[in-house]
Homo-oligomer: A and B are copies of this chain.
C-alpha cells in the first residue's frame, strides 16, 4: 500500500495545480474540464476519479488555500504585539496573499454563483463565518487591551471584512506597492477615520 497512494497523491496534486492556475486565469465557469484535461495530460475520467465533480475540485482548492493562509498567518502573528499592529499585519498579509494568490477572483465568482449543491453552500457559509470570527477575535483583543473603544464587535467585524473584500476587488488592477499602500491606508481609516477630531461621541 505504497506505490498506489503515492501515485494518487501525485496526480491529485497535478490536477489541483493545473486547475488552480486555470481557475485563476479564466474564472470558475469559464474553466472547463477539457481545459484541465489539456493542461494535465490526464483523462477526464481520471479527474472524476479523484474529485467528485467540478464543484468538489474547486472546493478542495478553497479548503487548501484556507488552511495554508491560516498556517502562514499564525507564523506571522506573534511578530505583532498589539491589536493595532496585528491589524496592519493582517492587511499586509492579505494584500500580499491576494496579489500572489490566484484564486480570489474565481472564489468571488463561485461564492456569488447560485448553482451550488446545498452542502457546498453550507461549507461556504462556514468559511465566511470563520473569517468573521477571526475578525471578531482580533477586535476583542484590541478592546481588552484598551486599544479600541467600541462595543459592537460583531458589526465591526463585518465592516472590517467588507473593507478587505472590497479592496481585494480593487487591488486586482493595482501593482504590488500600490496595493500595499491601499491596504495600509484602509487600516489608517479604519482606526482613525477621516473626520476632524471634533468628536460628537
Contacts and interface: CB of A to CB of B under 8 A. Distances in A.
A166 B159 CA distance: 8
Q: How large is the interface on A (under 10, 10 to 19, 20 to 34, 35 or more residues)?
A: 35 or more
Most chain B CB atoms below 10 A, which of A114, A158, A159, A161: A159
A162 B170 contact: yes
A52 interface: no
Number of copies: 2
Given A27-B113, A162-B167, A170-B162, A192 B186 contact: no
Interface string A183-201: 0011001111111110101
A17 interface: no
Nearest to A108: B112
Contact of A189 (B29, B169, B193): B193
Interface in A13-42: 25-27, 29-30
A30 B166 contact: no
Interface of A: 25-27, 29-30, 84, 105, 108-109, 112-115, 139, 142, 146-150, 152, 155-156, 158-159, 161-167, 169-170, 181-182, 185-186, 189-197, 199, 201
29 contacts: A25-B114, A26-B114, A27-B113, A29-B113, A105-B112, A109-B112, A109-B113, A142-B194, A148-B195, A149-B196, A152-B185, A155-B182, A158-B167, A158-B182, A159-B163, A159-B167, A162-B167, A162-B186, A163-B163, A164-B166, A165-B169, A165-B170, A189-B189, A189-B190, A189-B193, A191-B193, A191-B195, A192-B201, A193-B193
